[in-house]
Amino acid sequence: MGGEIRTYLVGRRNSSVQCDIAIPESETSVSRKHLELTVTATGRCYIVHVHPQNTTQVQGRDGAWVPISQDYVELDSPLMLGRYQTTARQLLAMLQQPAHR
């Protein structure tokens, strides 16, 4: 639906915390509650890092990784959750995948 703001909890798959977007359990550098990814009504992506450890970083135009606590990111900007590299687009695509049981 257009015009909605959606927020998703992103974290490492586990039995105690239900995440909307679950990173594989083997990615131990990703926190169980790592970040919130909000998609605005206009399609912009806003990230809020919610865990005090296991940083979230975005790759700048110069190639350097920059820690972020909250900021807008482009869909295809490289992101590092702990040591797990991804993009907002890739995270959102994980919403479509069924949970592994």
Residue found by looking up tokens 């479509």 in the block:
96
Q: What is the CATH number of the domain that holds 14?
A: 2.60.200.20
pLDDT at 99 > cutoff 60 = no
Q: What is the mean pLDDT of residues 9-13?
A: 95
How many domains does one find in the chain? 1
**Which domain does 82 fall in, by range?**
6-96
* Residue-wise pLDDT tens digits, 45-60: 999 999 888 899 999 9
pLDDT at 11 > cutoff 50 = yes
64, part of any domain: yes
Of the candidates 14, 45, 77, which has an alpha carbon nearest to the alpha carbon of residue 23?
14
Q: How many CB atoms lie within 10 A of CB 32?
A: 19
pLDDT at 75 > cutoff 70 = yes
pLDDT at 17: 82
